Amino acid sequence: MILTVTLNTALDLTYGVPELVPHASHRVSDMSERPGGKGLNVARVLSALGHETAVTGFAGGSTGAVLRELLAGLPSQDADTKAENGATPAAAPITDALVTVAGNTRRTIAVVDRATGDTTQLNEPGPLVNADEWTALLGRYEELLTGADAVALCGSLPPGIHVGAYAELVRLARTAGVPVLLDTSGEPLRRGIAARPDLIKPNADELARLTGSREPLRATRDARRRGAHGVVASLGPDGMLAVTPDGVWQASPPAKVLGNPTGAGDSAVAGLLSGLVEGLSWPDRLRRAVALSTATVLSPTAGDFDRAAYEELLPRVGIEEHSTAA
């Protein structure tokens, strides 16, 4: 089982409009809602890849109730679709291990301009989490670690959670002997990396804020020196750069694509985690991560990945090995 932690879960609402015009009224052409937050997005992709997952974090209020109802339906919906076309195996189960809080789960609203593919994102801050709710989460997390093959700690912190929360969760995973991937930003990333996670996955902007450098290889190596066992940097359309104890590689998609990048980084995390659990080499983990990320950009629904595109892209992802000399 792969465990994902989303402290600031969300109900993701996506509105499609023919064209987004500032200061104008719009008629929505299509709309979707789904359980969201980075770790839940990761779990959804892992499930589609056939990996059993458990999700924990916080959910509360009427929005949290809708999120959990949608989450409960995800594997069975995917399984029905795949059984009909016979192309891929049924999705693996997603176990809801979320902790109930008094506050209302946030909503994130994505408005997609169908003419250009551009997305405008509105993110609410999330519920205020109190000390007792945080203690309950820690207890649930430690229980789940006993059955986990790997864990991903993903996303922002809701109000009320201390800035060193991810560092605390990293240390608990390391004590339990469970490989841990950290995907966050800002001060939570800075604190978390000092706890020595097995892997971090910043994007280019997050990496620059962490290290002060915008040169990808220098910044990625600097991030690793700060405590992470390995660093995989998302470079947007240029792919991913990995600095690991086993070597340094850059993986690039076969061509730049246009589309909605929402959730692309989460799909990349799912690719890295599934590759870790399956014992794939670093080049193969990176191929999977880049192919999934690119296929997510190509999907018409934010946060989904286009399976046909993924399978076509996977063997075409380019891998370049760099010198390990600093």
Question: What secondary structure does DSSP assign to 112-133, as a single string?
Answer: EETTT--EEEEE---PPP-HHH
Q: What are phi and psi of 2, to 5 degrees?
A: -105, 130
Query: Residue 196 corresponds to which tokens in the numbers above?
Result: 């020595």
Which residue(s) pair with 112 in the sheet? 16, 119
Q: What is the C-alpha separation between 193 and 197, in angstroms, rounded?
A: 6
- φ/ψ bin of 273: left (φ > 0), alpha (ψ from -120 to 50), beta (otherwise): alpha
Query: Which H or E run includes 99?
Result: strand 99-101
**Cβ neighbourhood burial of 135 (10 Å; 0-12, 13-18, 19+):** exposed
| Candidates 222, 266, 304, 306; catalytic one | 266
Is 198 annotated in the active site? no
Q: Are strands 53-60 and 2-6 parallel, antiparallel or unpaired?
A: parallel
Which residue(s) pair with 280 in the sheet? none
Q: Hey, which residues are catalytic here?
A: 266
